[in-house]
């Protein structure tokens, strides 16, 4: 009988076909066998989790780590500690707000060198598409980025300017040559304006849903013209759902995501600048429509858009404060709490927060409990009550709109390739190269 490295048993394992009792055998960091709960399996170590649910490690494909250059905002050590504590075993780092941004191969190498030795979970990287870096796109793809992010409106940092529509078409035509993926911050700059004052209402009015919808329609038109794979980031406006659904129905290669804050927070709750993000959190009726978009499959992923900053940048009012929300560690309980209240199942949350982001980023060995996948696993108590304490979160700056919020869902342990991570253990994450699924050395 084969001696496995580890067997994890639970009466509730979230498999692709549903939740059932099972034993998971791990060998060399991979899931080697799935068997009945009481199966006799030889192993160097066995863990019986009884009625705790075993989830696949979540995949968060929208994280701003900000290192190097703005490491005081966040960093690979703190971001990946927060991820592990929240049941996230893989993150995909955005090409901004680091200095330098990930828009050339040397800039990617700089970021990878800084990340080495710090990561508590696996880390992949997005490249950036900005004016003037068209010749760098194929080399970045060959160097292993998951795809390319662009903005249609100002990004908030000068070193990552937006693309005009003509420039975006050029980028799409380049990417389609090697089946690259373009992920888009879609807000039409013509429809954005400065807030008339520092209130949340003025900020919300300055970034209307019509700006999102117009930009989404522009991306759809160019994706349909060029045949590129495109993905709309952080959909906040329900007005985007109809054009996305219509495009998907006629075969346009376009997907879309939303974020925990759009699903769980509303404009009426925006009592401090911790709630400020771009695009903004909208009203409760809009939120209902986003949940329907998930139910219909128009929105496929729920990811954090973890965009932290230092406390001083959140000072002032809604006109001047930095726009970004930190939720990497608490996305799972936040989304699960709201999903359960609306009648969704835990398997739905797993699909939105693990399987679909893994598929988007080109990670077939992540996001599922299946033979051959990485043994990235989470022991989760879905009904345990928790109260969000910002000071107890692992990300670098204790700023979150979820402070004091009562949620359900407690992560008891997180395994990365069969090894427990977090809770003071040394970093065990790897840097992932997406091209041809090459995986880097331990970092």
DSSP state of 10: E
The three-class DSSP label of residue 33 is strand
Whether 394 is covered by a domain: the verdict is no
Predicted pLDDT of residue 124: 98
Q: Which of 152, 150, 110, 117 is nearest to 134 (CA)?
A: 150
Total count of domains within the chain? 1
Which residue is it, tokens 């998930």? 294
- How does pLDDT run across 226-266, given as a tens digit for each residue? 999 999 999 999 999 999 999 999 999 999 999 999 999 99
Predicted pLDDT of residue 439: 42
* Chain centroid to CA 27: 28
Predicted pLDDT of residue 434: 84
Predicted pLDDT of residue 436: 35
Whether 13 is covered by a domain: the verdict is no
Q: What is the CATH number of the domain that holds 221?
A: 3.20.20.140
Which residue is it, tokens 């700059």? 189
Whether 281 is covered by a domain: the verdict is yes
282: containing domain: 57-366
Whether 127 is covered by a domain: the verdict is yes
Whether 130 is covered by a domain: the verdict is yes
- Helix residue spans in 150-283 (DSSP H): 165-176, 200-206, 209-226, 241-249, 260-264
Whether 397 is covered by a domain: the verdict is no
Whether 82 is covered by a domain: the verdict is yes
Quick one: tokens of 290?
Answer: 């986003």
- Helix residue spans in 274-330 (DSSP H): 284-296
Whether 401 is covered by a domain: the verdict is no
Give the CA-trace dihedral at 57, 63, 67, 73, to 10 degrees. Answer: -110
Predicted pLDDT of residue 443: 38
- How does pLDDT run across 23-36, given as a tens digit for each residue? 999 999 999 999 99
The stretches in the chain having pLDDT less than 50 are 436-443
């Amino acid at each position: 009988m084969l001696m496995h490295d580890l067997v994890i048993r639970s009466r509730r394992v979230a498999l692709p076909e549903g939740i059932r009792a099972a034993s998971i055998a791990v060998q060399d960091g991979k899931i080697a066998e799935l068997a009945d709960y009481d199966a006799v399996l030889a192993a160097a170590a066995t863990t019986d989790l009884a009625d705790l649910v075993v989830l696949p490690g979540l995949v968060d494909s929208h994280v701003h780590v900000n290192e190097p250059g703005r490491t005081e905002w966040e960093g690979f050590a703190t971001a990946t500690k927060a991820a592990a504590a929240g049941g996230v075993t893989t993150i995909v780092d955005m090409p901004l707000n680091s200095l330098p941004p990930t828009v050339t191969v040397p800039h990617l190498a700089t970021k990878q060198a800084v990340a080495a030795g710090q990561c508590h979970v696996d880390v992949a990287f997005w490249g950036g598409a900005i004016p003037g870096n068209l010749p760098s796109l194929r080399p970045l793809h060959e160097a292993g980025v998951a795809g390319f992010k662009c903005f249609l409106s100002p990004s908030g940092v000068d070193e990552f300017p937006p693309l005009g529509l003509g420039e975006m078409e050029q980028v799409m035509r380049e990417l389609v040559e090697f089946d690259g993926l373009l992920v888009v911050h879609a807000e039409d700059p013509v429809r954005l304006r400065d807030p008339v004052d520092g209130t949340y209402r003025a900020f919300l009015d300055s970034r209307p849903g019509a700006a999102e919808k117009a930009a989404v329609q522009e991306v759809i038109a160019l994706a349909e013209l060029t045949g590129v794979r495109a993905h709309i980031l952080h959909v906040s406006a329900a007005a985007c759902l109809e054009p996305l659904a219509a495009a998907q129905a006629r075969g346009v290669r376009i997907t879309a995501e939303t974020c925990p804050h759009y699903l769980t927070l509303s404009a009426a709750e925006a009592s401090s600048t911790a709630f400020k993000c771009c695009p903004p959190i909208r009203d409760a009726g809009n939120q209902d429509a986003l949940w329907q978009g998930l139910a219909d499959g128009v929105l496929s992923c729920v990811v954090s858009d973890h965009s932290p900053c230092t406390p001083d940048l959140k000072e002032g009012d809604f006109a001047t404060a930095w726009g970004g929300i930190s939720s990497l560690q608490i996305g799972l309980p936040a989304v699960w709490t709201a999903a359960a209240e609306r009648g969704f199942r835990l398997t739905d949350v797993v699909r939105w927060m693990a399987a679909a982001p893994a598929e988007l980023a080109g990670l077939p060995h992540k996001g599922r409990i299946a033979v051959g996948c990485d043994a990235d696993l989470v022991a989760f108590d879905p009904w345990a009550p928790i109260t969000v304490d910002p000071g107890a979160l692992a990300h670098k700056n204790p700023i979150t709109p979820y402070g004091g919020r009562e949620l359900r869902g407690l992560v008891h342990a997180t395994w990365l390739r069969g090894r427990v991570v977090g809770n003071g253990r040394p970093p065990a994450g790897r840097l992932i190269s997406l091209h041809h699924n090459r995986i880097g050395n331990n970092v």
